[in-house]
Structure 1
Amino acid sequence: MATGTPSSSNGRNRVATEQRLVQATIDLIRDRGFDAVGVNAIAEQAGVSKVLIYRYFGDYSGLLRAVAEELKGFDPDFASSVMERLGENATPGSIMHSTVMALREMISRNEIIKTLLVWELSAKNELTDALCESREKIGLKQTEQFEKFLSSNRPDEEIDLQALLALVTAGVYYLTLRSDTVQVFNGVDIQSDEGWHRIAQVISDLINRPPSD
């Protein structure tokens, strides 16, 4: 006796096929580069009809947006989860310290994200645009969560958090990518946890420093 309805079975099949198409796209990018990616190549890699790309994602751009969402690699609620974990001991600096270390870990453990970050510096296409849009939304959400914390902890101090987090994030991206080929950068061992704790700590100290009169 059947235990499921045809509609529920079709729904499960659709989700599985969508995931196969997303993963096939990621595999092609990783193995052959973005120039090798296209509707026919993706369908062949996934072992399905290319018609399903249009049926499930609307168009090729829709599939690339789904790939970007899969590859974003960073929890949109990371800032709030860090604050909850730190609890009453949380300070603006300790939150930034945890953010730096988490960003470094996220990038260093994911080869395809590293590949895409390098690729974005020299190429502009639908996927890089989708990735940038996804990261921008996440970054602004982190900024908003951090601003709420600051407004209740240091209400009299004005900090341009968008500019600060842009600088910190870009620095972490670059130094993490650079650590694949260089051990020491300006005297700091960027291949070691100790070196990264130095970087995170100095940012923490600067942010926690009492404002000047």
Structure 2
Amino acid sequence: MTAPATSSLALDTAPDRTRDRSRTEDAILAAARDVLIEKGFGAWGVNAIARAAGCDKQLIYRYFGGLDGLAEALGTDVARAIETALSVAPSQPAASYAELVARLLDALVEVLRGNPLMQRIIAWELSEPNALTHSFAQARSRALADWIARLRGDLAPPANIDAPAINAVLIAAVQQMVLGSAATGNFAGLPLGDESDWNRVRLAIRSLAMAAYASGDPA
């Protein structure tokens, strides 16, 4: 028996509707990234994003539930970018926890330097913490924690060393150096314009990581 025309039409158009929604969601996410990079969080609102995406702002509420949901989706997208950048396993496993941390910090320098969107997000987190920036920070923290868990194996910091505090200080240093480079091309008088400048930073960060975990004796 031949199926009614309406059933056939519904089957034919359902994939199109799915593809249209996927394209619209991608366009909204791309517009959210563009507005953030080009204009900053002061202009990051539903109306501006909808204009940049060329869609009705109601679609942002329909597909993302509003700015909170869009921030969460964008935070997940940023975290995925971090995971991708950190996904290449080194040819040799780290010989120590200090080496693992040094590699993480070196990789983080490259990830942050190459991602203006992430720089904007971190700057916003520092200047105006709120529910949206919390979503971004949580997504980024998960990506870094997953990277460490994947490569850590049996490595552990020496006894009597406050690894979470030390790692937080070192990560904050990397973030601040990258933000300073983007804003002024230097930080605390240290030039950060070319690769020779950044090689100095990499060596300094590595030295600090190796020294911090050199022994288990408390400072």
Q: TM-score, normalised by structure 1?
A: 0.77
Tell me by how many angstroms 1:30 deviates. Answer: 2.2
> 1:163: which partner in 2?
165
Identity over aligned pairs, percent: 26
Residue type matched to 2:139 in 1? S
Tell me which of 92, 97, 121 is aligned to 2:126.
121
Do structure 1's residue 31 and structure 2's residue 38 form an aligned pair? yes
Native 8 Å contact 2:119 2:179 kept in 1: yes
Of the structure 1 ranges 4-13 and 61-70, higher mean CA displacement relative to structure 2 is found in: 4-13
Query: How many residues are matched?
Result: 203
Residue type matched to 1:25 in 2? A
Gaps of 5+ in 2: 1-10
Change (3 A) 1:53 1:200: same
**2: distance between equivalents of 1:10 and 1:141?**
35
Of the structure 1 ranges 139-148 and 166-175, higher mean CA displacement relative to structure 2 is found in: 139-148
**2: distance between equivalents of 1:206 and 1:107?**
24
Tell me by how many angstroms 1:174 deviates. Answer: 0.9
**2: distance between equivalents of 1:68 and 1:122?**
18
**2: distance between equivalents of 1:88 and 1:118?**
33
Change (3 A) 1:30 1:201: closer
Change (3 A) 1:172 1:36: same
> 1:93: which partner in 2?
98
**2: distance between equivalents of 1:87 and 1:144?**
16
> 2:49: which partner in 1?
42
Do structure 1's residue 74 and structure 2's residue 76 form an aligned pair? no
Gaps of 5+ in 1: none
Structure 2 counterparts to residues 113-192 of structure 1, below 5 A: 113-142=118-147, 144-145=149-150, 148-151=153-156, 157=159, 159-180=161-182, 181=184, 183=186, 185=188, 190-191=192-193, 192=197
TM-superposition CA deviations, 1:104-127 (whole Å, max 9, x none):
111112223222322222213343
> 1:64: which partner in 2?
71
Tell me which of 163, 173, 194 is aligned to 2:199.
194
Output the aligned Cα RMSD.
3.1
Tell me by how many angstroms 1:77 deviates. Answer: 9.2
Residue type matched to 1:174 in 2? Q
Tell me by how many angstroms 1:182 deviates. Answer: 5.0
